[in-house]
Structure 1
Amino acid sequence: MADQPHGQGQLEPVLVVIPTYNERENLGPIVKRLHAAAPKTHVLVVDDGSPDGTGDLADELAADDERINVLHRTQKAGLGAAYVAGFQWALERDYAVIVEMDADGSHAPEDLPRLLDALGDADLSIGSRWVAGGKVVNWPIRREVLSRGANLYSRMALGAKVKDLTGGYRAYRRAVLEKLRLHNVASQGYCFQIDLAWRTIEAGFTVVEVPITFADREHGESKMSGNIVREALIRVTKWGLRRRGTQLKALFTR
């Protein structure tokens, strides 16, 4: 088990990290809904130099609400890098729980209290589309097939029991992110979520899944691309082969 086992412990203050790139239409409504659902929660908007003025809007929101903070980055460096920057910002402060949430409305803020409650018995809670009670709304069949296939392949390659390893709506206890070596995380997109979930499991922490309804974005464009899918396939395959090699080595050295 991990150095600091789970338990009810101190679950406040909570920081929700929201990466943005051209999310001006979505940011205001999602933050408003978040604070209606969890009024004490703080927000960190990590903006990658959005040309549509998302960063400027974030600054305006922060000026009017001390619960909102903004981290400006000068270039679009990818989802994984944005989250790592947000996590490091959080760890420099006294946040007990750090949450990942998309800006586009696909992650319902109203589900956040259930994710936080789940940390009473776990170190990482993942909002899951693929457990009983979870579902997706307004997704084309090809997206659902891709997501289910990616998760099935990842579970088989890594031997993980988590059904939604690619899920990006999740809450970490501080101890998890303190233990993981965030400085050497290079994964992006789907792969970033798989990477951190697998690191969490390998470090001995407890992971639970909370069923959520995932709704496709109404405004803006999806950041999904062929490069993101290929990266996940290549990296997960390498991790799976390394795991198998370690198992075989242990078997023959007994």
Structure 2
Amino acid sequence: MKIVVVGGTGLIGSKLVAKLREQGHEAVAAAPTTGVDTLTGEGLAEALAGARVVIDVSNSPSFERAAVLKFFETSTGNLLRAEAEAGVRHHVALSIVGTERMPENGYFAAKIAQQRLIEKSGIPFSLVHSTQFFEFARGIADEAVADGEVHMAPVLFQPIAGDDVAEAVGRTAVGPPLNGRIEIAGPERFRMDEFFRQALAAWGDPREVVTDPHARYFGSELSERSLVPGDDAVLGRTRYQDWVRT
């Protein structure tokens, strides 16, 4: 089966392409570096010819509110139109657990806009909402720095390994369209402040982690369950301590 992975050269996309090819699928990595640009439409028709499934794991180069919204609206709109013309039967998009809980977050608002376009497109679809990736933990810590200290809220946190994300997205893509969403998360649930206290110690990072109920997560103040999925989430297999040792 031909499956086009938009954002196929990135962190999750490259893992997806490799896993799908191992399963015998014709997986095409679509990205500007491979001649496919969803913002301009360049190369889309050629890449999607004969494709049965499209997986969108692309990301905006800018997280500024207006820029990220323009990226997802333009990219997704162009992609869905090209899919309709090519007769694609299943559109799969990777999103984030908790997007609707923090609409003041510009990136999350853009992902909501993307989701609405997909839902209204008429193309059968599946949305995979994931928690934060292990690979982004250092970036999350750096974003939370104030006066040399890492400020973290004492809320629930359930990150997941990128390999487990790719496995879940790939499994969803080769199955029947959900015309809805699933949530995926890591197998362990932590307190966010405690997770980063232990993580920084393991990294040999001397910065102090301060427990701060009002600490902001990329501009948003968190409630207890802002970042974690519901009880029916599909859980990955990789524990953080095992991942960090590899």
TM-score exceeds 0.5: no
Between Structure 1 and Structure 2, the one with more helix by share is: 1
The higher relative CO (CA closer than 8 Å, separation ≥ 6) is in: 1
TM-score by length of 2: 0.33
Between Structure 1 and Structure 2, the one with more strand by share is: 2
